[in-house]
Amino acid sequence: MLGEELDNLAHLYEDAADWISGHTKGYQPDNQAEHVYLFKILHEYRVLHLQRAQELRNCDNTSIQRIEREYNRLATLFNVEVSGFERKRYENLSHEPNKAMNLNGYIGLMGKTFRERSQGARNFLEETTTAEDATLQIPAADYLITLDADSVLLPDYALRLIEIMEQPGNASVAVAQTPYSAFPDPASTLERIAGATTDIQYIIHQGFTGHSGTYWVGANALIRRKVLDDIAEQDIERGYPIQRFIQDRTVIEDTESSIDLIDRGWSLLNYPERLAYSATPPDFGSLLIQRRRWANGGLIILPKLLRYLARRNGGRSKLMEGFFRVHYLSSIAAVNIGLLVLLAIPFTDAIDSVWLPLTALPYFWLYRRDLLHLGYKGGDILRVYALNLLLIPVNLGGVIKSIQQAILKTKVPFVRTPKVDGRTAAPAFYILLEYLLVAHWLLGAGVDIFNDRWTHGLFAAANAALLFYAVYHFIGLRESREDLSIAYQQHRRQRVRPAAAATTLASEAKLQ
């Protein structure tokens, strides 16, 4: 009897594998995300189902309980409920335009039941005491997964991370995550090199965990639900009470929440497996929006981190944690400003000055080694450096926004990375800055060589050449002309409208 049930289960798993084969046969992925979904998820599931069928047929000893579990497991694979929730439909929930309040709005409803009430054109959610009176019920959960819209998780993401969180020594782990990887084999050079810079972060974040310096990276994460109550704040918005579990002062809300968590004794963990993939912007216009957002907020959060470090006791471990955490928040500002200063101020050809740029060689050697380990080409180190030169104005734009926000005490709107067909136009201001930097560095190189400062002159000329390479290959000369032309036409239309309005008013005055 039990043998027949095992054989029946094996047939059902084979049917599940055949069902996947039937839906994927002849399917050609249109992009890298679909390629990952097809080969790393659907095909992987097919192989797992066939392996499960073989294991059941080879099983010599089993029980009724084991067979029941297998039937339940198989049934849950095809029993999935998908629902949606839009917080701005309800007047008494937060209407703040940022990702943090999307999370806060839903987290605050978890484990409760609500009744929808309409008052004119406005809708309200009112908590109920019994499920019978409810029109909306949000289930409770021990763990939450946060996920960006352009990210893909592998099938065993939750199982692996929950297993880690449930281990006896990890009761204080609040967030477990696997830093995302770029989708492989992108179509454009820019997408590939920008993906390389995020793939490198996968390695860097493992080092952060090794020194207790982990930051929550919001593209994907598994969060222990109860820890959010520890960092929750009560607030009033438009006259309605709201809960803020995740801070929304900056557009890098996950980074600030990391400080809140460690300040209350919780820790964060990077899991050393590639379980998540995320899209890389395919053109300079969309990459600019993403990287400018990433650069905005670190300096605002830095004082909170320094207060935490000042209160924390410890010796070498505190020093190492502080080094990595401060580096993470301040490096974008420091590195980009430092490189501009280095290129602007000539150094002499004395031996101590010559060694200054050479101190970066160990860094580039290690960076190149990591790129090779990740499957990139050795020559990509120069393309990564060229991309970083191209992003100097972008990163500094985000840093300036941080300073502006800190001074004015205002929130910067969350600007999503565009997901559109075709190319996203870049602001003319940034296009002009790229060309101005090329011209400035070339002019500086000429002045240095004319004054026999050969070391600094060659350094400036090399950077100018690499930046022009980045402009040519990552933006495009034709594309930059198009973006400048679009901006010029918009500027002309804006000037014409006030003039036309003044002419109309003058004509009306004469008629009167």
Question: Rounded to an integer, what distance in angstroms lies between the CA atom of residue 196 and that of residue 379?
Answer: 12
Three-class SS string for 81-115?
CCCCCCHHHECCCCCCCCHHHHHHHHHCCCCEEEE
Q: Please say whether the beta carbons of 255 and 249 come within 8 A.
A: no
Q: Which amino acid is at 362?
A: P
Three-class SS string for 417-456?
CCCCCCCCCCCHHHHHHHHHHHHHHHHHHHHHHHCCCHHH
Q: Kindly give the confidence (pLDDT) of every residue in the chain, 512 residues in length, as a single tens digit, with 9 standing for 90 and above.
A: 677 888 888 899 999 999 999 988 888 888 888 888 888 889 988 999 999 999 888 887 777 888 888 889 888 888 888 888 899 999 999 998 888 899 999 999 999 999 998 988 899 999 998 888 888 889 999 999 999 888 999 988 999 999 999 999 999 999 999 988 999 888 889 999 999 999 999 899 999 999 999 999 878 999 999 999 999 999 999 999 999 999 888 888 889 999 999 999 999 999 998 999 998 998 999 999 999 999 998 999 999 999 999 987 777 788 899 999 999 999 999 999 999 998 888 766 665 566 766 778 899 999 999 999 999 999 999 999 999 999 999 999 999 999 988 888 887 777 777 766 778 999 999 999 999 999 999 999 999 999 988 888 999 999 999 999 999 999 999 999 999 998 888 878 877 666 555 555 455 445 44
* pLDDT number for residue 325: 94
* pLDDT number for residue 505: 44
Question: Rounded to an integer, what distance in angstroms lies between the CA atom of residue 328 and that of residue 511?
Answer: 66
Please give the DSSP secondary-structure letter assigned to residue 219.
T
* pLDDT number for residue 495: 73
What is the token pair recorded at 232? Answer: 């929750």
* pLDDT number for residue 497: 66
The radius of gyration of the chain from alpha carbons, rounded to an integer in Å, stands at 28
* pLDDT number for residue 511: 46
Residue for token digits 């602001």?
Answer: 427
Cα-based distances in Å from 258 to 173, 214, 223, 252, 325: 12, 8, 11, 10, 10
Residue for token digits 């005490």?
Answer: 409
DSSP structure string for 319-373: HHHHHHHHHHHHHHHHHHHHHHHHHHS---SSHHHHHHHHTTHHHHHHHHHHHHH
* pLDDT number for residue 477: 94
Q: Listing from the earlier edge strand, what are the strands of the sheet with 122-127?
A: 122-127, 112-119, 136-138
Question: Rounded to an integer, what distance in angstroms lies between the CA atom of residue 347 and that of residue 459?
Answer: 10
